[in-house]
Amino acid sequence: MTLHLGDDAPNFEANTTHGFINFHNFLGDSWGILLSHPADYTPVCTTELGRTAQLSDEFKKRGVKAIAVSVDAIEDHHEWIKDINQVKQTNVDFPLIADQDRLVSTLYDMIHPNASGTQTVRSVFIIDPQKKIRLTMTYPASAGRNFDEILRVIDSLQLSDQYKVATPADWNLGDDVIISLGLTTSEAIEKFPKGITEVKPYLRYTPYPKE
């Protein structure tokens, strides 16, 4: 099953380090980030799960629930979490799914045969409160995920949902944003009282609209 942006995030039930869950019920009205890991006790993933835990307050501030999946057993997950907490001096406070039957891995197309016939690739899914997939990223085994980028995209998505804007290359929270082509210039002037800068008729900036 290949998932595309805007698709419904497949629901599932699974055993996790926080007990048995229904994925959609777990998300509730929150945003979600689903992270896949090829196996427990892998070095790069240890740093990634630790970083996710360290950013717990940042995710909560944005109304995002984190959850991870690995194909190993729940008992291994609990032991691995002890290592993660020790190595990264943190507390893993989000669920880790035990996906021994590859149900979640298959639903989310996490097994790429040219990479491995059994292990999941290291994917990221950002899911909005309507359970729509808003971002997918797949990383090679050798490159750890950039969590600054994950937070940046969440900020961009949440801002664009609230205002008719897009974010330019290398945008960071608080920077100027691009006005949607769906707004005329006169509508943009009314909607964005901080002013607009027209670089081209199709490229118009306005200061960060919040605050």
Q: Which of 73, 63, 78 is nearest to 14 (CA)?
A: 73
Exactly one of 45, 104, 126, 183 is catalytic; name it: 45
Q: What is the three-state SS of 147-172? A: HHHHHHHHHHHHHHHHCCEECCCCCC
Tokens of 110: 């996490």
Tokens of 207: 């200061």
Q: Is 45 a catalytic residue?
A: yes
Q: Rounded distance, CA 27 to CA 130, Å?
A: 10
CB atoms within 10 A of CB 75: 10
Residue numbers annotated as active site: 45
